Amino acid sequence: MIKILERSKGNVFGLEASGDISKEEILAVEARLDEAIKEYGKINWLYVIKSFEYASLGAMYADMMWLLKNVKHFDKMAVVGNKKWEEILVKADSLIFGEKYFDLSELDKAWEYVESK
């Protein structure tokens, strides 16, 4: 499941991923993000990773294609997790996407980062 967190507002989005994530869920969230990109030009977002899997290769493909297509519209990105491999992956990804990694214990700090001007 993927959900938009209540603290999201304006061009700042918080997303939480847990369990199986379907292509339909991804497309629904991407539609909301597309609306914000049209309105604001750039978005800031925080992605909380709990234990999750893509329900299908189609779901993973849809997610990756949207990210690559829209990277130019991302300003600040924070990935929040609790596993060392997530931190390593985010540091490698940051060369393309520019995101920052925060441990789950630093969730408030991650929100402050994406909400700052």
104 residue type, one letter: L
Residue with tokens 């967190």: 5
Contact 94, 76 (CB under 8 A): no
DSSP state of 55: S
Residue-level pLDDT, tens digit, the chain, 117 residues: 888 999 999 999 999 988 888 889 989 999 999 999 999 999 999 999 887 667 788 888 888 888 889 989 999 999 898 888 788 888 887 877 778 999 999 999 999 999 998
Total residue count of the chain as it appears in this document: 117
3 state DSSP class of 77: strand
Residue 21 has a pLDDT of 85
Domains and their CATH numbers in the chain: 2-115 (3.30.750)
